[in-house]
């Protein structure tokens, strides 16, 4: 628990200046900020307006997932739509029935917007604004006197958003219906029908998002680690989602990923080991072609061999003289390999780097250089399957 709280604290401290929380506390809006890179996608900030609306203390909310505010009347489809928007890192606005700490339901307009790092285009936070709705839906059913029934439904609803397959969700819904049917003699849980947001409430949500993003942008400028509300405004933007970047981040080997569909085949992902090996920071690498590692003594024939392999869409392994940011040179045992889609077309090229003479220090458990090259490429392909499945595109091979 202490380690997660430390990550939550770091989530803000590493991105914004120390006064950002004070500035956010001055805003009148109801909103939360969550971090998808921390296990469980927890809330890392909750505004005073949000805490007042829900009846929770800040200590009860920070570190929790947003599903703690859902209950028996929360629409399952809306929950899945929010989950899909998070996975696809896009904005979503919908009407949602949530529950206060005392169990009373309330309708709100839920407007969520991803916050991107301007450095590498990754989604670092999700900002969710909640505007309470003035209209009320009609009630149906009777309040159940059996608290056990309500506990079953609450538990199923909250577990549902953790499932990874629609089949499992369907089973939960079927179970919920059977519980309601079996408890009919004791009464059903009181649920409100849909309540729609009006144009004024929609404008309030959009205005709140704009104001909060303005504060976050300002306080990120003070640290030099800028954020923005749209991926298109990021320099060296990576088309990879945050979930894919997290999976790639678990691979300890030095490697880069280049996009075959973009002009000049730029780097769209660089591992931490690659940055350590070359001395460059991530924002200095993303969006550039790999040839910036070459120098005056790099053999042109080796570069030509790499170029021909890429043109022919085939793997190759070479020994090439590369240069670090500080100008020092090193012999790079480089392996490049295409990552193909099921249609047979290249999606990316993986470039795996190993410094000659320093291989022992890079780990590998006694594997040969060839096997370590292949295992890294295989690990990258596995990580990229998240991207292909999430976007509905062909399976990556």
Residue 155 lies in a domain: no
218 and 246 co-located in one domain: no
297 and 374 co-located in one domain: yes
206 and 270 co-located in one domain: no
115 and 255 co-located in one domain: no
Burial class (CB in 10 A: 0-12, 13-18, 19+), 297: exposed
Burial class (CB in 10 A: 0-12, 13-18, 19+), 355: middle
Domain boundary among 172, 204, 233: 233
Q: Which residues pair with 192 in a beta bridge?
A: 139
Q: Output the pLDDT for position 233.
A: 55
221 and 313 co-located in one domain: no
Report residues of the chain scoring pLDDT below 50. 137-176, 178-192, 236-237, 360-361, 363, 390-395
Contacts for 310 with CB less than 8 Å, ≥ 6 apart: 265, 336, 349
Rg, the chain, Cα only: 25
Query: CATH number, domain at 355?
Result: 3.30.450.20
Give which of 162, 9, 142, 172 is closest to 86, Cα–Cα: 162
229 and 250 co-located in one domain: no
Percent helix, percent strand, percent coil in the chain, to nearest 5: 40, 20, 35
- The DSSP 8-state label assigned to residue 344 in this structure reads S
Residue 366 lies in a domain: yes
Residues 17 and 218 sit within 8 Å (Cβ to Cβ): no
363 and 339 co-located in one domain: yes
Whole-Å CA distances, 241 to 11, 53, 112, 228: 18, 32, 17, 16
Domain boundary among 233, 260, 287: 233
Residue 108 lies in a domain: yes
370 and 248 co-located in one domain: yes
Residue 150 lies in a domain: no
In three-state secondary structure terms, 223 is coil
Domain boundary among 204, 233, 262: 233
Q: Output the pLDDT for position 242.
A: 63
Number of domains in the chain: 2
Residue 18 lies in a domain: yes
19 and 90 co-located in one domain: yes
Q: Output the pLDDT for position 175.
A: 46
Residue 198 lies in a domain: yes
Residues 36 and 126 sit within 8 Å (Cβ to Cβ): yes
Q: Output the pLDDT for position 36.
A: 86
Q: What secondary structure, in 3-state letters, does 287-342 show?
A: CCCHHHHCCCCCCHHHHHHHHHHHHCCCCEEEEEEEECCCCCEEEEEEEEEEEEEC
Q: Structural domain of residue 358, as residue ranges? A: 242-391
210 and 272 co-located in one domain: no
63 and 212 co-located in one domain: yes
Q: What is the pTM of this model?
A: 0.54
Residue 180 lies in a domain: no
Measured between its terminal Cα atoms, the distance across the chain in Å is: 38
Residue 178 lies in a domain: no
334 and 385 co-located in one domain: yes
């Amino acid at each position: 628990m202490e380690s997660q709280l430390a990550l939550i604290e770091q989530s803000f401290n590493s991105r914004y200046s120390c006064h950002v929380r004070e500035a956010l506390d001055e805003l009148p809006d109801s909103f939360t900020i969550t971090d998808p890179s921390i296990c469980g996608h927890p809330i890392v900030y909750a505004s005073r307006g949000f805490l007042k609306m829900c009846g929770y203390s800040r200590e009860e909310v920070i570190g929790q997932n947003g599903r703690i505010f859902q209950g028996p009347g929360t629409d399952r489809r809306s929950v899945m739509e929010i989950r899909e928007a998070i996975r696809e890192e896009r904005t979503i606005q919908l009407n949602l029935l949530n529950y206060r700490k005392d169990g009373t339901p309330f309708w709100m307009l839920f407007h969520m917007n991803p916050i991107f790092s301007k450095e590498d285009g990754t989604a670092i936070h999700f900002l969710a604004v909640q505007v309470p709705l003035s209209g009320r839906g009609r009630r149906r059913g009777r309040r159940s006197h059996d608290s056990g029934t309500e506990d079953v439904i609450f538990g199923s609803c909250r577990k549902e958003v953790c499932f990874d397959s629609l089949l499992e969700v369907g089973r939960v819904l079927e179970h919920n219906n059977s519980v309601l049917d079996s408890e009919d003699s004791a009464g059903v849980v009181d649920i409100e029908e849909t309540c729609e947001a009006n144009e004024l409430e929609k404008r309030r949500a959009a205005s709140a998002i704009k104001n909060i993003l303005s504060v976050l942008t300002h306080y990120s400028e003070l640290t030099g680690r800028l954020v923005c509300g749209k991926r298109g405004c990021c320099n060296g933007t990576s088309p990879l989602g945050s979930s894919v970047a997290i999976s790639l981040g678990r691979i300890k080997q030095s490697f880069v990923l280049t996009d075959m569909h973009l002009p000049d085949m730029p780097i769209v992902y660089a591992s931490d080991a690659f940055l350590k090996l070359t001395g460059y920071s991530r924002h200095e690498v993303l969006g550039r072609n790999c040839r910036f590692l070459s120098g005056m003594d790099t053999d042109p024939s080796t570069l030509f061999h790499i170029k021909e392999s890429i043109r022919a869409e085939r793997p190759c392994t070479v020994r090439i003289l590369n240069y670090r940011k500080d100008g020092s040179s090193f012999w790079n045992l480089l392996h490049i390999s295409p990552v193909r889609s099921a249609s047979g077309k290249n999606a990316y090229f993986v470039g795996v780097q190993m410094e000659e003479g320093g291989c022992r220090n890079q780990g590998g458990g006694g594997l040969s250089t060839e096997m370590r090259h292949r295992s890294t490429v295989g690990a990258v392909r596995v990580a990229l399957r998240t991207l292909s499945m999430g976007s509905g595109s062909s399976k990556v091979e």
